[in-house]
Structure 1
Amino acid sequence: MKRIFDLDYADYFTIRGKELLETIRTSEGRTLMAETIITTFPLLDGISNPETAAAFSADMVTLNTFSFDAPFIFGYDDRDFSAYGNLAGYAEKIGEKVNANRVDPDYIRKFKRMLGRFIGVNLEPVPEGSDYPSGLHCSEENLMRVKELGFDYIVITANPKTGVTSEGIRQGILRAKKILGEDTVIVAGKMHGAGAGNIYDESVIESFVTAGADIILLPAPGTVPGFTVERVGKFAEMIHRHGALVLTTVGTSQEGATESYIEQVALMAKMAGADIQHSGDAGVSGMTPPENLMRMSITMRGKRHTYRRMARSAHR
């Protein structure tokens, strides 16, 4: 079994489900996930945030605010037209592209062929009656689209002010497992106090694993008050005991902090037992500053593996 930083371009299209989990497990805490907002102008003009994240050594790229009702990735779908001097025309072209993407069953597969990384999507198990956009819900309809479009994994979580509860996440996991089966990895949890209540309880986390989550999401040490190496380590041991993997997250806008801070968090998360380290989308313009992604990667796995991953970038 290859380690994740040894993968070639072709491997990203043959490794799925349980094999992906085993690849991560074999990598011994050296897997990097970058979360990116794709519904805003990207950090770099003409380059989508997922592409920048991949170029700076991310192994897994999560699309946040991706709507199954209106699929569109800024920096990727709008390369052939410009907003400069013609905003009305730009908006019209976006609408045309969204309509085309909506009926394209290979939309994400095409993007993945360009990106050359594992691609996931955030889904929100919001309460019934929520006015949260339907294209972002962890609904049966959207889960069927996850399967159709070929996402490698989903992240069942809570963005701020969504009202998502722990029970909502558990129900979302059950729904996803029934529809997606074993081919799509299920990540679940909350990285900070978003939604309603918290999940920082062993019984709740255990219920997520029992429901079918493959990877449990936890705040990284130093990101949420009281989350020390010892506390995260205790949760990690319990999660591993139940056969799941651990994803530690930086999603509190601290992904946009100093490189020295990123180094500390990456080291503490490694000590606590993280299998995957995540850096969020609240740095600048919908993603972690690229230098912070690279700094996290170097701290996790050294310059050799970081530079090799960066050299084996997209556009193959």
Structure 2
Amino acid sequence: MSNVIRLISATKSDFQKMSAMELKESIYKSESRTIMGQHLLFAGPGVVRGVTNSELMFAWGADMVMLNTIDLDNLDNNPGLCGLSLKELKERCNRPIGIYLGCPKAGSEDGGKKALYRREGMVATREHILKCKEIGADFIVLGGNPGSGTSLTDVIEATRLAKSLLGDDMIIMAGKWEDGITEKVLGDPTADYDTKDIVRQLIDAGADCIDLPCPGSRGGITVEDIRTLVQFVHQYKPGTLTMCFLDSSVECADEETIRQIAILMKQTGADIHAIGDGGFGGCTWPKNIYQLSVSIKGEHYTWFRMASVNK
């Protein structure tokens, strides 16, 4: 293990020096206290006029942000970026920012969302994966938006492709925490597949982090369901990370609900605690980012993240 600083204590100057694998180690060293926000780009310029949702979430305690529904074929077609390139957004935020790539097969259903954004612009193709690297993404997240018809086989194949193209130059996160209609999400006790075998295949394909649903927000999922998988990941290939994802529109519930779910998330042992973008302006309420952060890592490290943007 290197002497890289843990992410919850890292600042702008630290992030600028980190390689992808150092960032991965930095998350690991934070001992289950890393917060990730999600920014829905098609939903408009954002919650607060004059700043992007990414900036807003970092200002309220997020350590990382994932961009959802990005159009990589036409980078001008991303209202949530407010005319900024990813490089310019990172210069404003001074924090790790990654991109969500969907893995559905061509022609699969999209739950009515096709009219809302160009799903084909965020599909995990060879061209799009390389584009993510070209424009400066710190990580990619491979999965499937609700209603996309994404299978775990699709995600495994996309993970293998991404690893062959990126190697260790970018963190690859992969899994299934939503879109559970045609195939159950990872950790669902009613799934008709061997969950641990799927996780093993994802890791063997090159995943640096396994993405899992969240107890308290995903129906039927318990702490023990997810904790068992987290422990398996950490034992099967030490150093591999896990992410627990609070979504299903519960991310815009009241703060007390977020607080209660955060405690469940912490009990799973996941390395990263992510919160979805199901708000009314392309992200969750800033106060819910703050509550999640305080519940997971306390006020000290939350305030540090809020105040250290230019350090």
TM-score computed with the length of structure 2 as normaliser: 0.88
Q: Does 1:53 align with 2:57?
A: yes
In the TM superposition, what whole-angstrom CA distance separates every residue of 1:70-118 from its partner, at most 9, and x where no partner exists?
Answer: 214435535xxxxxxxxxxxxxxxxxxxxxx8xxxxx322221111110
2:295 alignment counterpart: 299
Amino acid at match of 1:126: P
Q: Unmatched 5+ residue regions in structure 1?
A: 79-100, 102-106
1:18 alignment counterpart: 21
2:202 alignment counterpart: 208
Once superposed, what is the RMSD of the aligned Cα atoms? 1.7
Aligned length: 288
Q: Are the equivalent residues in 2 in contact too, given 1:158–1:195 (CA < 8 A)?
A: no
Q: Unmatched 5+ residue regions in structure 2?
A: 109-113, 187-194
Q: Does 1:133 align with 2:96?
A: no
Aligned counterpart in structure 2 of residue 116 of structure 1, from 57, 72, 94:
94
Amino acid at match of 1:123: L
1:77 alignment counterpart: 82
Moved more, 29-38 or 225-234: 225-234
Q: Does 1:28 align with 2:14?
A: no
1:269 alignment counterpart: 265
Q: Report % sequence identity.
A: 32
Q: Post-superposition shift, 1:199?
A: 4.0
Q: How does 1:1-316 map to 2 (within 5 A)?
A: 1-41=4-44, 42-72=46-76, 73-74=78-79, 76-78=81-83, 107-129=85-107, 133-194=119-180, 196-200=182-186, 201-243=195-237, 244-313=240-309
In the TM superposition, what whole-angstrom CA distance separates every residue of 1:126-168 from its partner, at most 9, and x where no partner exists?
Answer: 2134586321110001011111111100000101221111100
What is the rounded CA distance, in whole Å, between the counterparts of 1:133 and 1:269 in structure 2? 30
In the TM superposition, what whole-angstrom CA distance separates every residue of 1:227-286 from its partner, at most 9, and x where no partner exists?
Answer: 111111111111111222110001110000111111111111111111000000002311
Amino acid at match of 1:77: C
Amino acid at match of 2:267: M
Moved more, 187-196 or 43-52: 187-196
Q: Post-superposition shift, 1:49?
A: 0.8
Distance 1:304 1:210, change over 3 A: same
Q: Are the equivalent residues in 1 in contact too, given 2:177–2:185 (CA < 8 A)?
A: no
> Secondary structure at the residue paired with 2:97?
strand
What is the rounded CA distance, in whole Å, between the counterparts of 2:277 and 2:57 in structure 1? 10
TM-score computed with the length of structure 1 as normaliser: 0.87
2:111 alignment counterpart: none
